Chains A and B, each alone.
Chain A
Amino acid sequence: MNIELSEFLIAVAAGMVRSATPVLYATLGEIITERSGILNVGLEGIMLVGAFTGVAITYQTHSVGLGLVAAMIAGLLLGLFHALLAIYFQANQVGVGIAMTIFGTGLSAYLGMDYVGKQINTLGTFKLPLLSDIPVIGPIFFSHDILVYATFILVPLIAFIINRTRLGLTLRAVGEEPRSAAAAGINVELTRYIATACGAALAGLGGAYLSLAYAQGWSENITAGRGWIAVGLVLFASWNPFRALIGAYLFGGAISLQLRLQAAGLDVSPYLLGMLPYVLVILVLSISTARRKNAPSSVPTALGLPYIPQV
C-alpha cells in the first residue's frame, strides 16, 4: 500500500483524537473531582458501568442520546456513592476507588451478559461544515463525532470555570483549605458531593464513548485499563485541563501510531511497539517535571483527606 507520508500522518493524528477522547473525558472528570479534594481512583469501574449503561439504554430506546445521558447518570450515581463513602463515612479514598473498580467490573459484566453482541445504533460521525475543509486540521480534528467536538469546548470551559469563576474559586478553596472555605460560608461537603458526581458523570460518558462510538457495542472489560491511565494522566496534567488534553493526545497518538505502523508493515515486534504509549508518557512527564522543578506545586492541598468540621 503506497500512501503518502502526509496522508499517513493525518490518519495517525485523526486516530489520536479518537483514541484520546474516552480517556480525556475521564481525566477531565477526575480533575474536577480532585480539585475539590476528593480522590477517585475508581474511574475504571465507573467507565465500565457507563459503557454498559450506554449500550443497554441505547438498545432499549434506540436512542444514542438517551444512552449517553443514562451513562452520565450511572456515572453520577456511582460518583455520589464514592462521595458518600469518602465524605460521610470518611473511608479511605484509595481503597474505595479500588473497590469501585472491582465492583464496577462485576456489575457491568453481570448485567451486561445479555447485551454482548447486541446490535445498537451508534454515535454517527459528521464533518463540521467549513472547519473540516481546512487542510490538515480539518481531517484531523473536524471529521469525528459530537463527543469529540464537545471536548474542544469542554477543555477550555472547565479551565475557565476552575480558574476564572466564582464556582471555580469555591471548588479550589474546598480542595485547598476546606476549613477556611467553611469559615467563609462555603458548604464544603455539598461542594465535594457535586464535584465528585460531576467528575464521575464525565467518566461514565468516557466509558459510553468506548461502547457507543468506538467499539459499537458492549463487551466485558471494554475499558482494558483506560480508567487507570486517566488517573495517571491527572497527575501528568497537574490538575490542568489543557495539559490533560496534551497528555491524552500523547497517549492516544502513540496507540494510533503503533497500530498504523503495523498496518504499514513495519518489521518490529508488536509488543515493543505496544510499549510506546507508556514509555512516551513517562518520558514527557519526566522532562516536563524536570523543567518545572521550581514551580509551585499545583496539587490540591486537601486531596484525599477526610474533612472533619471543627467543633
Chain B
Amino acid sequence: MKGLKIAIVVLGFLFLGTNVLSGSAAGQKSVLKVGFITVGPVNDWGYNYAHEQGRKYLQSALPGQVETTIVEKIPESAEVERVMEKMIANGVRLIFPTSYGYFEPTLRVAHRHPNVVFECCGRVVPDNIKNIATYTPKIYEPMYVTGIVAGRMTKKNNIGFIIGHPVPLIIQDINAFTLGLRSVNPNAKVHVVCTNSWSDPPTEAEAAKGLIESGVDVLTMHLDSPITVVDTAEKYGVMTVGYHADLKQRAPKGWLTGEMWNWGPLYVAITKSVLKHTWKPGNYRYGMKDGYCKLSSFGSIVPAKVQLEALKAVSNLQDRSLVVFKGPLTDRDGKERIAKGKIADLQTLETMNWLVPGVEGVLDKH
C-alpha cells in the first residue's frame, strides 16, 4: 500500500508540474526561436561541432532577437520528424536540419507547417516548395586547393582518402581534391577507403594504418571527425590534410592544411533575412569568395612557395577565373561527363556519382 501512496503522490506531482510548465511557455513573442538539429554529438571536433559553433555565433551576434536551441544525436530517420514537430510546438519558427539525410523528413514536416522556415544543409529543393531553402558552402573549392598542396608535398605520389560513405557530396570532394592534386602533379593517385560509418575511430585508425602500409604519404578524410586520422598519421610520420577543424597544433610534424566551415556569419545572414521578412526559398551555394568555407592554417612543413601557390588558387577561385568542375572533364573510364567549356550545374554536382582519373578505390558504382 505504501507503493500506491507513493505512486499517487508522484502522479499528482507530475500533473501539477505539467500545468506549471505549460503556463510559463506562453509569453515571449518578439524573439525569433531558431532550432538546430545535428546527427552526431556537438562536441565531436568535426562536422557537428562546426554547426554548434555557428549556432553560438548566431546567438551572440543577435542578442535579444533570437533564441537558439540545438538537439544533437538525432538519427536520419523518422525520429527527426518528431524533433522538428516538437520544436515547432515549442514556438520555433526557423529550423536548421544540418544533416543531408534529414531532407526527406523535412519535406514532410514543411508541408504540414507552411509558416515555419526550414534551412536544409545541402540537397536540392524543388521550386514549388515555398518554405524550404538549401544552403551549403562549396567545400569542394578549398578541397581543390588542399589537393594542390598535397600534390606539391607528396613524395610517393600516393594519397589516402578515408571516407564514411560514398555519397555524392563526398564524391565531389574526392574529385575536386584529385583535380587539384593532379593539376600540379599528374602522376599522383588518390586511394579511397570507405569505413561504412561516419564515426568509428578504431576502424578509421586501422584504415589509416592500412593505407600507410600500402605506401601513401599523405592522408585526408571526409568523416564526422578528422581527429583519429590526423593523430594516426602523425604517429606514423605521415602528412595530413584535415577537415572541419584546424588541427595544426595537434599534428606539428605532418599537418599540411585543411578545409574548414565558417557557419556563423552564414547563419546570421539567413536569420536576419527571416527577421526582416526578406527570406526566399531556393538552393544557395556559396563559394570561397563568400567566406563561409576557408582553408585552415598551413603546417610549418609547407614551404612558402607552395603556400603562395595555394593562396593564388584561392584568389583565382574567388574571382571565378578558376572553376573546379569545368569541362572538359571525363570520368576515370574515359567517358565525358562535363563538356568542354561547360560549368557543372547544381544537379550535376549534387548527383555526382563518377570519379575523375587518378582515383583508385571501391567507389565505382556504375
- Judge if A282 is at the interface, Cβ distance under 8 Å: no
A8 to B215, CA, bound (A): 11
Q: Please tell me if the beta carbons of B235 and A263 are within 8 angstroms of each other in the complex.
A: no
Tell which of A109, A217, A221, A267 touches B231, judged by Cβ atoms closer than 8 Å: A217
Residue of B nearest to A125 (CB): B235
- Judge if A215 is at the interface, Cβ distance under 8 Å: yes
A215 to B43, CA, bound (A): 16
Q: Please tell me if the beta carbons of B202 and A256 are within 8 angstroms of each other in the complex.
A: no
Which segment of B93-101, B261-269, B346-354, B356-364 sits at the interface? Answer: B356-364
Shortest B196–chain A CB gap in Å is 5
Shortest A156–chain B CB gap in Å is 26
Which segment of A11-19, A179-187, A289-297 sits at the interface? Answer: A11-19
Shortest A176–chain B CB gap in Å is 36
Residue of B nearest to A269 (CB): B362
Tell which of B192, B206, B207, B232 touches A216, judged by Cβ atoms closer than 8 Å: B232
**Per-position binary interface string of chain B over residues 154-198, scored 1 when its CB falls under 8 Å from any chain A CB and 0 otherwise:** 000010100000100000000000000000000001011111110
Q: Please tell me if the beta carbons of B215 and A267 are within 8 angstroms of each other in the complex.
A: no
- Judge if B203 is at the interface, Cβ distance under 8 Å: yes
Tell which of A117, A216, A219, A226 touches B235, judged by Cβ atoms closer than 8 Å: A216
Q: Please tell me if the beta carbons of A1 and B214 are within 8 angstroms of each other in the complex.
A: yes
Tell which of A117, A265, A274 touches B43, judged by Cβ atoms closer than 8 Å: A117
Q: Please tell me if the beta carbons of A119 and B210 are within 8 angstroms of each other in the complex.
A: no
Shortest B36–chain A CB gap in Å is 17
- Judge if A214 is at the interface, Cβ distance under 8 Å: yes
Per the CB 8 Å criterion, the residue count for chain B at the interface is 44
Q: Please tell me if the beta carbons of B214 and A11 are within 8 angstroms of each other in the complex.
A: yes
Q: Please tell me if the beta carbons of A224 and B202 are within 8 angstroms of each other in the complex.
A: yes
What chain B residues lie within 8 Å of A267 (beta carbons)?
362, 364
What chain B residues lie within 8 Å of A268 (beta carbons)?
362
What chain B residues lie within 8 Å of A222 (beta carbons)?
201-202
- Judge if B34 is at the interface, Cβ distance under 8 Å: no
A261 to B191, CA, bound (A): 11
Q: Please tell me if the beta carbons of B206 and A15 are within 8 angstroms of each other in the complex.
A: yes
- Judge if B199 is at the interface, Cβ distance under 8 Å: yes
A11 to B236, CA, bound (A): 15
Interface of B is mostly: mixed
Q: Please tell me if the beta carbons of B45 and A266 are within 8 angstroms of each other in the complex.
A: no
Shortest A141–chain B CB gap in Å is 16
Please judge, given known A-B contacts A216-B228, A263-B191, whether A117 and B203 are in contact too, CB under 8 Å: no
- Judge if B44 is at the interface, Cβ distance under 8 Å: yes
Q: Please tell me if the beta carbons of A214 and B202 are within 8 angstroms of each other in the complex.
A: yes
- Judge if B111 is at the interface, Cβ distance under 8 Å: no
Q: Please tell me if the beta carbons of A214 and B205 are within 8 angstroms of each other in the complex.
A: yes
Tell which of A11, A14, A224 touches B200, judged by Cβ atoms closer than 8 Å: A224
Residue of A nearest to B216 (CB): A1
Q: Please tell me if the beta carbons of B203 and A109 are within 8 angstroms of each other in the complex.
A: no
Q: Of residues 244 to 264 in A, which have CB atoms within 8 Å of B's CB atoms?
A: 255-256, 259-260, 262-264
Shortest A103–chain B CB gap in Å is 17
Please judge, given known A-B contacts A116-B41, A259-B207, A262-B361, whether A217 and B197 are in contact too, CB under 8 Å: no
Q: Please tell me if the beta carbons of B158 and A219 are within 8 angstroms of each other in the complex.
A: no
Interface-centre pick from B189, B197, B360 (highest chain A CB count, 10 A): B360
- Residues of B near any A CB (own CB < 8 A): 40-41, 43-45, 158, 160, 166, 189, 191-197, 199-207, 209-211, 213-216, 225, 227-228, 231-232, 235, 250, 360-362, 364-365
New A-B pairs, 15, CB < 8 Å, besides A117-B225, A267-B364: A117-B44, A119-B250, A122-B231, A214-B201, A214-B202, A216-B232, A220-B41, A220-B44, A224-B200, A256-B210, A260-B210, A262-B194, A263-B193, A265-B361, A273-B362
